[in-house]
A and B are shown apart, each in its own frame.
Chain A
Amino acid sequence: MQFTAIGTVAVTIVMLGTFLYVRETLTTFGQGILKQIEIAVYLDDNATDAQAKQLAASLAADGRITSARYVPRAQGLQEMRGRLGRDFDTSLLTANPLPNAFRVSVSNVDNVPDVAASIGKLPGVAKVDYAADTVTKLLRAADVIGRVGMAMIGLLVLTAAIIIANTIRLTVFARRREIAIMQLVGATNMYIRMPFIAEGIIAGVVGAIVAIAVLAVAEMQIVPKIASTLQFVPFHVNELQLAGELLGVGAAVGLVSSWLSVGRYLRA
């Protein structure tokens, strides 16, 4: 029965660990992208130099803006060529389609919509564009998925706790005669509980260790393959911290379920 308890804890923690790993990776990725988000301010084709200078001054005066970089159309084309690589053959273009622009960075990504809206009202501005909207929607979706995932993990943790509790209850029942004699000669409930609590914690911790080992092997085998395909996604999870958290979950599940299980017997 111990193996059943350990196995259930291990499976639960593998799923929890995978989920937390993916969530941390996505969160780091999303936050990294958000930090790089720039507002593209495209000027009217017939905007004068004075309007452009006035616009630059307005942007500099806005406390929410950390930088406003002027990108003439020719430079914009160069940068686009650099981003898109050899696949983008600019020799096919008869004219530069890009307008003069400003690349604006803000201190707080939550201000992007407001800043973009206020820039859009300035004279000489043809269009204001930013991709943060898409990323924010993505992060919101990730958050929803995260909550659903955590709920499912919560159910799995509960299952593991129930199995450990049942294992302990069977052990308590098998040793009920010994427990009765211990109570008879004056053993405190804590003295009686401790071996069973220890058993529950051990089941939880061993299950967590097994899970961590499985996750470590999976990380070494799978992550490099995914990382080579998704090079723009940073796979930098603090494995030690994650392992510590998973060990804590295993020990806590073992402790709580065995404590409650023995406690019910001693109160009966």
Chain B
Amino acid sequence: MIELRGVTLTYPNGTRALDDIDLEIGKADFVFLVGHSGTGKSSLLKLLYREAIPDAGEVIVDGIRVDKLRRGKVAALRRNIGVVFQDFKLLTHKTVWENVAFALQVTGARSKDVMRQVPRVLDLVGLSHKSRMLPSELSGGEQQRAAIARALVNNPKILLCDEPTGNLDPSNTTEIIELLQRINLKGTTVLVATHNQAVVDRMRRRVVRLENGKILHDDERGYYFRGLGQSPVLSG
């Protein structure tokens, strides 16, 4: 589903965000992308939805060479990829319903498709009863669920999450991660960039650790810090 081959990305100041990265993520995989701030996690995600273009290498998403995509085709790519951010990026003057519907409307969807799809995803994220509320009237966790609903409304094959629990308290964090798991169980490939060690260690899914722009390790059923997870206290 996702392939990076020899990908290198350099920041404007000259430092390497990603250095000759090779990575493969399969259909319906759930992958944590971990590492301290500035290590290239967000940059890697940006390559996948064409917010950035690599200096070298190939970025392939669902069979499409994203790095070579013409500007006019980027919109179509993004309709097949859901993206969720730490700051939710909801439109503050629109209700939950309108925020989710917006993602369908920009694709030219008909009203009846909107009326069918929006309730479906709101039900999935558990926000049906709050569809008429504005983002300012929701908790952090609820806003993130609304953002996830918007990311899912076009039935994307891939869901990219850039620090989705960064602004949330522990209980909301748990809710969001469980929601992402449910989404993944339905067949969506989920890639979560995070520095939330507790979440990563609890879930024991594939963990790809980035450091200084390189992949340090890539473990199935991994821990945030390889080696620490083998402590009897944490491996419980």
A, B: real partners: yes
**Complex Cα distance A191/B102, Å?**
12
Residue A185 is within 8 A (CB to CB) of chain B in the complex: yes
What string of 1s and 0s marks CB contacts (under 8 Å) between B166-180 and chain A? 000000000000000
Q: What interface size band does chain A fall in?
A: 10 to 19
Q: In the A-B complex, list the 7 residue pairs whose CB atoms are closest, starting with the nearest.
A: A186-B79, A187-B106, A186-B78, A185-B103, A188-B75, A186-B75, A181-B89
Interface residue count on the B side (C-beta < 8 Å) = 17
Q: Are B102 and A185 in contact, with the CB atoms below 8 A?
A: yes
How many residue pairs bridge A and B at CB < 8 Å? Answer: 41
B136 within 8 A of A: no
Residues of B within 8 A of A31 (CB): none
How far apart are the CA atoms of A184 and B79 in the complex, in Å? 8
Q: A: which residues have CB within 8 A of B? A: 177-178, 180-189, 191
Q: CB within 8 Å of A: which residues of B?
A: 49, 71-72, 75-79, 83, 89, 91, 102-103, 106-107, 150, 154
Chain B facing A: main interface SS = helix
Q: Is B91 touching A178 in the complex (CB atoms < 8 A)? A: yes
Cβ contacts under 8 Å, A181 to chain B: 89, 91, 102
Complex interface: chain A residues within 8 A of B76 (CB): 186
In Å, the complex CA distance between A263 and B196 comes to: 40
Contact residue among B71, B89, B107 (Cβ-Cβ distance under 8 Å from A184): B89
The CA-CA distance from A2 to B142 in the complex, in Å, is: 38
Residue of B nearest to A266 (CB): B71
Q: Which residues of B contact A177 (CB under 8 A)?
A: 89, 91
Query: Do B91 and A186 have beta carbons less than 8 Å apart?
Result: no
Of B75, B77, B150, chain A has the most CB atoms within 10 Å of the CB of B75
One of B72, B89, B106 near A186 (C-beta < 8 A): B106
Looking at the assembled complex, report how far the CB atom of A188 sits from the nearest CB atom of chain B, in whole angstroms. 5
Min distance, Cβ B104 to any Cβ of chain A, angstroms:
9
Evaluate contact between A185 and B78: CB separation under 8 angstroms.
yes
Contact A184 B75 (CB under 8 A): no
In the complex, which of the residues A178, A184, A187, A189 contacts B83, with contact meaning CB atoms closer than 8 Å?
A184
Q: Is the beta-carbon distance between A185 and B91 smaller than 8 angstroms?
A: no
Asked if A191 contacts B106 (CB within 8 A), the reply is: yes
Q: Which residues of B contact A180 (CB under 8 A)?
A: 89
Beta-carbon contact of A184 and B91 below 8 Å:
no
List 19 A-B pairs, Cβ < 8 Å: A177-B89, A177-B91, A181-B89, A181-B91, A181-B102, A182-B106, A183-B78, A184-B49, A185-B79, A185-B106, A186-B75, A186-B77, A186-B106, A187-B75, A188-B72, A188-B75, A189-B72, A189-B75, A191-B106
Closest residue of chain B to A187 (Cβ to Cβ) is: B106
